[in-house]
Structure 1
Amino acid sequence: MDSDPDSSKTCRLHSVFWHMCSSEAEKSMFFNAYTVQGLKVEQRRVCIRNNILLGIKHEHNSMLYTRSLLCTGPYHQYPVPIPFRSRLLRIVDAMSIRLYEFPIEAVELIHLRYLTLTCDGRIPAAISQLRNLEKLLVTRHLSTKSLEDSSILPMEIWGMKELRYLRVEGCNLPNPSSDEVLANLSTLLDVNINSCTKEVLRGVPNIKRLGVRIQLELGDDGKSFHHLNNISSLGKLESFTCVVVNPDLSQDTITPPAPHSMFPVSLKKLSLSGLGYPWSYMGIIGRLPNLEVLKLRCYAFQGPLWETDYASFNELKLLSLEDTDLVLLRTRNASFVSLKYLRIKHCYNIEELPPYLPYGLRMLQVADCSLSVVAWAEKMKENDRENRIEKLTIDVHSSWDDEDLDL
């Protein structure tokens, strides 16, 4: 398992144990996986590791009673038919297969609880027929799309009361009717910032994890940031991610809302990218009482100096700085007292960092940074050898040191 406290989404397994688990699953008839040849007998749980097999009609006939279908082969950019003929399907993971349009036959699978797809078409209103669906995840094959095409979720989505996880890349969630609520929805990811209206957020009162995208228009005067002020109404929110897809950091006319108006005190994880906030806002973020993970990417904050307040970020365990114009980072006593992991990546302007590390730090990672940061990390390594009892891992990496670098 990965030791990073924020990496619960990933798991590494040695190939020996992977093959053992795979063979044991097949022996016990719990799960059957196929790479070269297809099904010989009907199976309730099927894992396809070569998506080409789905193009063989005979294989579909062997899946009429399949309950779980996982397509885990390498990403296939051309459509192959998915066996939606099995009316007993409860789980379909077909993200590694490209579909041009949403497969309308999928809405007839009334037992479906888990559905992941890759398609560029709109989600049909008939999706509401999947009354038992708990997780819906749709990614896009095309990375570029017009703003008009981003409003892809139908109003009927508010009738899917069992939804717990909803992620449709770049979508707009329409305002519900007066009394419609998705009480079970705890995760809402990749929505357009225009989805964060007061009406929508009232309809998802139990959200714990929220991810939004901001796509700036030409001549944007800051109106795209307006809905961020509504985030504070989510009293159960624990994780918030905000990404500006096409940041224009040369402009100084955009005035984003101050963080105290958008971050609820329940927040534990915060990831920001491309917002261009001034570092003075960090004083407010540092006082969030439950914040454990803070990731700042692509000029999330802008300016040469970040000076922390006294006794700030008391609960923070992971801090990640990536692609910033920061020059000086100065910390005051009693700041970052709980910090376990510190990452600094692609920061080429930093000249000054704190002369000491938090005593409880377990991992320091430096990747592709200025020589000043590398020298600082080496100095911290020497200090660790002299003064520390508990183990600290320091990893310093530069792309220039890669032997296979092709110039």
Structure 2
Amino acid sequence: MAYAAVISVLETLIELQDESKLQNIPYPRSEVRTLENNLTFLQSFMKAENPGVEDLEVEIRERMYEAQDALDSNISNFILNSKSADWVEDNYISSFSRDLEKVNADVGFVTAAARMLSPIDVRPLLLMPPPPQVSHRSSIVGREADLFRLKSSLIAPSSALHTVSVFGDRGIGKTHLVQTVYDDPDIVWRFKTRAWAEVPQFYSKKEVLITLLRCMKGFGSGKGQEIAQDKLAKRLSNYLSQGSYLIVLDGVCNPEAWDNLKELFPDWGNGSRVMITTRPQEVAQYAKIGNKGSLEKILPLDGEEPWDLLQSVVFRYKACPEKLVATAKRVSANCKGLPLAIVTIGGVLMEAGTKDWEIAASSLTGCGDCDELIDAVMSLSYKSLPQYAKACLFYMAIFPNNYDIPLSKLYKLWIAEGFIDKNDKVNSLEKMCEECLSLLDKRGIVFVSERNHLGKIRTCRVDGVYHDFLKKKAKEDKFFHVINGYMSSFPDKTWTHERFLIRENVQFADGDVLKSENPAPTVRSMLFDGAHEQNPMWVHLDFKLLRVLDALKIRFYGFPDEILKLIHLRYLALTYPGEIPEEICGLWNLQFLIILRQLSSKTSEVVSRLPLEIWNMSELRHLQLIGRDLPAPSTSSPKLENLITLLDVSSHSCTPEILKRIPNLKKFGVRIESPALDAAEDMSFLSHLTLLGNLESFKCVVMHPDFESQVASPNPNVSFPATVTKISLSGCGLSWENMKTIAKLPKLKSLKLRWYAFRGSEWKQEGDGKEHKGFPKLTFLLLEDLDIQSWKTSSGHFPWLQNLVIRHCYKLKEIPAAIGNIPSLKKIELVDCNSSALKSAEKIKEVAQQSRGHIGVHFHSSHDD
């Protein structure tokens, strides 16, 4: 029965991928490929009558039934519902993906058990052709044996802490191979905690700690710098003590780095592992803990492996055209067995003609060592990019190697620099940014390092080897210049550079910088990326052509008047507590204006507004104004048609007169400092938000709520436009009655409620669950620091909920049992909740395991930090 069940699921998978069958049903390709690979192995394993087959037959059969159920139900869902008016293909794909992720986790577990019993190295891991939207980085052709060895080292039956040192030449594929193992379902299941950190030559132990903790969700992106290093180390130790862990340290350069970091990883006797990647063998040997470690040397591909890999990248496992075979094999041979070179050049040649193949073969001929070869390949890859993508890629190299670049900032800088332009197909600059990043990702040049809870990319980074190439080329082209140390002025030789990144904030001495009557005429961008300055500084900013000025980390004596003359500015970010001069409205090119306050600055009780002339700044796309507001418009004030983001204003910027003049706003953030001081600071503005017909994301934070004395509507009319997908509320003190309006929003996917966002002991949702009564698209729900005691709901209120997070809700007695009946639910996370709530979550988990499948339940106490 088990063997027949495997064959049945395999047949379904084959049909699903056959475009001539099943009405071209869309499906999650990555999950399907993973499942097919595991099933192919199980088929061979069972057919070979390996010892131990009988012991696994029942488990294999049950997993196959689950897989078949998941496949069939989703196929039926598509066929029966795809014609209806409210059908959303993205939601269907998301649901299908969730189902198969769970199936793959279970099948991966039984497959791992079968592999341990198999006396032969069955090679099922050769991936199917990746679809066009998937990066060719996923290919592991020729690395099946290496992958099997690394996995075996990690799951070896030993309780002692082991190090696995992976070493080899530049471009040999160490990081990608380790990443593949790191994400393998068998490994994910084996280790309770996994974390990954790069260790560049000039690394910071504190940054490594922060990176590891972020992987463990110890805190979010951008957090952690304010915590002392010893406290971070203690927090990491507490996380690692909770079960077996896998830590990856990528790019360790010398033995000293390992000596400095190894103390962070205690041996709890639970089978934990630390993997490092490095080029020098001596570093790998040094990191080996006596007999409790292993060395894994990664060698170049040989034999037919380079040719197979090139074909898989370029032709998607189809046959190479006969007229190209000879030239293509020359290209393959010239890559010297280096996967990085093969994959990169393959990305260049995916749609190339015969002439391009000849150019590639000739360009790689005669490269002496690996470094010369990789530089040649990188150069070809860069040259083959569309023109609009080259500058965008170059700009990413301004950031440090292995630095997680926030996309929210990167896209703004790309647009401000003028790298992005609309075309006939895409008329949104932000969409063009997304297309550019997608192209770079497909080419294997950049990769995603963090996503938000809705799966959207939050940060990305440039591939390390490509970063080295870009830095070298940027220096040759004088594209940007990085200043790493304190100095009184720019050195003369840098005046020809257009962009400066100052990693140690520069104190320019008055006069020293003025080397001529027109100093630094080509400087277009200045980004100060050092530590936040505690004392005021004088910084020379008299660069007439400056387009981008990011000085958030500089503290000024007063508003720098030089800025008012920089009429080419498109991006201006300052930290300044005082009044903004009206002359700033003369910066007619300004698209991005960010003016924050120092954290220690006391917010004035007087409402501070920007000058009225701000309404004439038609190019504005992004405004972030802590402690300031938009002015009330006059009857003749024009609309800010291009403004799509407005952040950190108070409710004084939420009048109907103002909202009507920002009709295309998509992201809106309200920050109320002290509502008890001003009768106008109440929640009644929430009734005006329907005037924003394109709003997608809304956030409101009341910083110092005083529910006893503040003047607020006891039950304000809360109303949101139907376009909203994300809502985050904190300190608002709303009644749970207002939730009925929010629950009806048709596109809402994320709801975060913090610090008495809603008040009241009971949240009761109407309906018996027989039909969907609310939150039709919600996938993420956060309840934090609320006084709620009782929550009554049914699964029908949250048909698509995936993640439920409850933090510091000490009075909440239990999580409704109906939550466990939500088919899409994947995880419940509780932080500092009472024991009865924890028990209810465990009960939900137990019931789910007996019926609908696994739900992850995670507890955490801040006392452990």
Tell me the residue number matched to 2:727. Answer: 270
Query: 2-side partners of 1:79 and 1:8: how far apart?
Result: 38
Does 2:700 correspond to 1:242? yes
Counterpart of 2:826 in structure 1 is 362
- Read off the aligned partner of 2:860 and give its amino acid letter: H
User: Mind listing any 5+ residue stretches in structure 2 that lack a counterpart?
Assistant: 1-448
> Aligned equivalents of 1:143 and 1:130: distance in 2?
27
Q: State the partner residue of 1:301.
A: 758
For the pair 1:146 / 2:604, whether they are aligned, the reply is yes
**Contact 1:55/1:80 (<8 A) preserved:** no
How far 1:21 moved relative to its partner? Answer: 5.8
1:333 alignment counterpart: 795
- In structure 1, the residue matched to 2:539 is 82
Relative distance call for 1:140 and 1:268 in structure 2 (3 A) is: same
1-structure distance, mates of 2:528, 2:803? 35
Task: Please list the CA deviations of residues 140-191 of structure 1 after superposition, one character each: whole Å capped at 9, or x if unmatched.
Answer: 014422222x313111111111001011102121111213211111111111
Looking at structure 1, the residues matched to 522 and 692 of structure 2 have their Cα atoms a distance apart, in angstroms, of 42
Which runs of no fewer than 5 residues in structure 1 stay unpaired? 403-407
Distance apart, 1:334 and its partner CA: 1.4
Letter in 1 for 2:789: V
Secondary structure of the residue aligned to 1:163 is coil
SS at structure 1 position matched to 2:781: strand
8 Å contact from structure 1 (residues 53, 59) kept in 2: no
User: Do the aligned partners of 1:99 and 1:120 also contact (CA within 8 Å) in 2?
Assistant: no
Partners of 2:795 and 2:839 in 1: how far apart?
A: 23
Q: 1:27 aligns with which of 472, 488, 493?
A: 472
* Among 331, 348, 358, the residue aligned to 2:810: 348
What is the alpha-carbon distance in structure 1 between the residues aligned to residue 689 and residue 776 of structure 2?
Answer: 23
Secondary structure (helix, strand or coil) at the match of 1:170 reads: coil
What does residue 405 of structure 1 align with? Answer: none
Q: Deviations over 1:24-44 (max 9, x none)?
A: 332121443332377652321
1:86-113 residue CA offsets vs partner (Å, 9 max, x unmatched): 2121111111111243222112111111
- What secondary structure does 2:542 align onto? coil
Indicate yes or no: 2:453 matched with 1:5. Answer: yes
Deviation at 1:84, TM superposition (A): 1.6
Give the equivalent residue in structure 1 for 2:631.
Answer: 174
Aligned to 1:289: 746
SS of match in other structure, 1:28: helix
3-state SS of the aligned residue for 2:828?
A: strand
Higher strand share: 1
**1:325 aligned counterpart, secondary structure:** coil
Q: Is the CA contact (8 Å cut-off) linking 1:128 and 1:160 kept in structure 2? A: yes
What's the TM-score once normalised by structure 2's chain length? 0.43
Indicate how the Cα distance of structure 1 residues 388 and 130 shifts in structure 2: closer, same or farther if over 3 A, else same: same
2:858 aligned partner: 395
Given that residues 209 and 240 in structure 1 are in contact (C-alpha distance below 8 angstroms), is that contact kept between their aligned partners in structure 2?
Answer: yes
Corresponding position: 1:41 with 2:505:
no
- The one-character-per-residue Cα deviations of 1:377-399 (angstroms, maximum 9, x if unpaired) are 3344444554455x754432112
The answer to whether the Cα contact below 8 Å between 2:550 and 2:574 also exists between their aligned partners in 1 is yes
Q: Percent identity?
A: 38
2:513 and 2:453 map into 1 onto residues whose CA distance is 41
Q: Specify the alignment match of 2:143 in structure 1.
A: none
Give 3-state SS (helix, strand or coil) of 2:623's partner.
strand
- Paired residue type of 1:41: T
Return the offset for 1:319. 0.7
Give the letter aligned to residue 26 of structure 1. K
1:105 to 558, 562, 565: 562
- Residues 1:202 and 2:660 are matched in the alignment: yes
Instruction: Give, as a single letter, the amino acid of the residue that structure 2 aligns with 1:397.
Output: H
Structure 1 residue 122 displacement after superposition: 1.1
* 1:32 partner letter: H
Secondary structure, aligned partner of 1:11: strand
- Give a deviation string over 1:285-327, Cα, whole Å, max 9, x none: 1011111111111101111111223321111111111100111
Contact 2:683 2:716 in 1 (8 A): no
Matched-pair contact (CA < 8 Å) for 2:698–2:728? yes
Question: Which secondary structure state, in structure 2, belongs to the residue aligned with residue 51 of structure 1?
Answer: coil
1:114 is matched with: 571
- Give the residue type in structure 1 aligned to 2:740: G
Out of 2-11 and 335-344, give the one that drifted further. 2-11
Give SS of 2:469's match.
Answer: helix
The structure with the largest alpha-carbon Rg is 2
Aligned to 1:147, the other structure's residue is in SS state coil
How does the TM-score come out when normalised to structure 1? 0.87
The structure-2 alpha-carbon separation of the partners of 1:394 and 1:353, relative to structure 1 and needing over 3 Å to count, comes to closer
Q: Tell me the residue number matched to 2:835.
A: 371
Q: Would the alpha carbon gap of residues 397 and 130 (structure 1) be closer, same or farther in structure 2, given more than 3 Å must change?
A: same
Cα shift at 1:75 = 0.9
Asked whether the 8 Å contact 1:48–1:72 carries over to 2, the reply is: yes
**Partners of 2:843 and 2:460 in 1: how far apart?**
32
Q: Is the CA contact (8 Å cut-off) linking 2:569 and 2:589 kept in structure 1? A: yes
Q: Distance in 1 between matches of 2:594 and 2:520?
A: 23
* Alpha-carbon contact 1:102-1:120 (below 8 Å) kept: no
Distance in 2 (CA, whole Å) between partners of 1:331 and 1:110 is 56
* One-letter code aligned to 2:484: T
Query: How many residues matched?
Result: 396
Instruction: Judge conservation of contact 1:214–1:224 (CA < 8 Å) in 2.
Output: no
In structure 2, distance between residues paired with 1:7 and 1:104: 43
Letter in 2 for 1:4: N
- Preserved contact between residue 127 and residue 156 of structure 1 (Cα < 8 Å): no
> Aligned partners of 1:219, 1:72: CA distance in 2, in Å?
36
Q: 1:45 to 1:377 in 2, by over 3 A?
A: farther
Deviating more after overlay: 264-273 vs 40-49 = 40-49
CA distance in 2, matches of 1:397, 1:56: 53
Residue in 2 that maps onto 1:213: 671
Q: CA deviation at 1:60?
A: 7.7
**Is the contact between residue 54 and residue 60 of structure 1 (CA under 8 Å) also seen in structure 2?**
no
Residues 114 and 133, structure 1, Cα contact 8 Å, conserved in 2: yes
Q: Does the 8 Å CA contact 1:228/1:257 hold for their aligned counterparts? A: no
Distance 2:525 2:678 in 1: 46
Hey, what's the Cα distance between the residues in 2 that align with 1:292 and 1:49? 38
Residue deviations 1:258-283, cap 9 Å, x none?
Answer: 444x3222211111111211212212
Cα distance, 1:88–1:362 mapped onto 2, change above 3 Å: farther
**Distance in 2 (alpha carbons) for counterparts of 1:240 and 1:290:** 13
1:115–1:220 distance in 2 versus 1, CA, 3 Å: closer
Q: CA deviation at 1:119?
A: 0.6
- Measure, in 2, the Cα distance between the counterparts of 1:76 and 1:304: 45
Take 2:629 and 2:581, find their aligned partners in 1: how far apart are those partners?
14
Q: Relative contact order, CA 8 A, sep 6+: which one is greater?
A: 1
Cα deviation for residue 193 of structure 1 reads 0.7
Structure with higher helix content: 2
- SS at 2:494 equivalent: coil
Going from structure 1 to structure 2, the CA distance change for 1:115 and 1:85 (only over 3 Å counts) comes to same
Question: How far did 1:253 drift?
Answer: 7.2
